[in-house]
Amino acid sequence: MLSRRSRFEICVDILTQINNGVILPTPLMYSVHLPYKPLQQMLESLTSQGLVNEHSLEDSSKRSKRFYSITDKGERVLKNFYKAKKLMDIETLVLSPSE
């Protein structure tokens, strides 16, 4: 069964992929399993929050290519997320029923 990801989980996936070097829109779209339009909306949101920077580079055909980089703030968000996740992954104690 496939579970739906929350908006937060998608943001973390995007930040993680950019942090790992997936910086162009199309490869990013495939790596986070998100259609282009929703990806663009998420990237705009992450950019406006100061978590991601958008850069443009003109190539030889005079088309501008966009690519993304994670900001220091974005790196802190990821670090705190993974720290919290690690704390939550502590083995849960199984309580035996009261006798």
Is the predicted pLDDT of residue 93 greater than 60, yes or no? no
The label of the residue with tokens 């282009």 reads: 36
Give the tens place of pLDDT for each residue, 36-65: 999 999 999 999 999 999 998 877 776 778
User: Taking residues 19-44, what's their average pLDDT?
Assistant: 94
Q: What is the pTM of this model?
A: 0.80
Q: What pLDDT, on the 0 to 100 scale, is given for residue 2?
A: 59
- Coil, strand or helix at 90: coil
Is residue 12 very low, low, confident or very high in pLDDT (cuts 50, 70, 90)? very high
Residue ranges covered by each domain of the chain: 7-78
What does each C-alpha distance from 49 to 3, 27, 28, 43, 79 come to in angstroms?
Answer: 27, 22, 19, 10, 17
Q: Does domain 7-78 have CATH number 1.10.10.10?
A: yes
Q: Mean pLDDT score of the chain, rounded to an integer?
A: 86
Say if CB 11 and CB 21 are below 8 A apart.
no
User: Taking residues 75-84, what's their average pLDDT?
Assistant: 93
- Coil, strand or helix at 40: helix
Question: Dihedral (C-alpha) 78, 26, 67, 51: value to the nearest 10 degrees?
Answer: -20
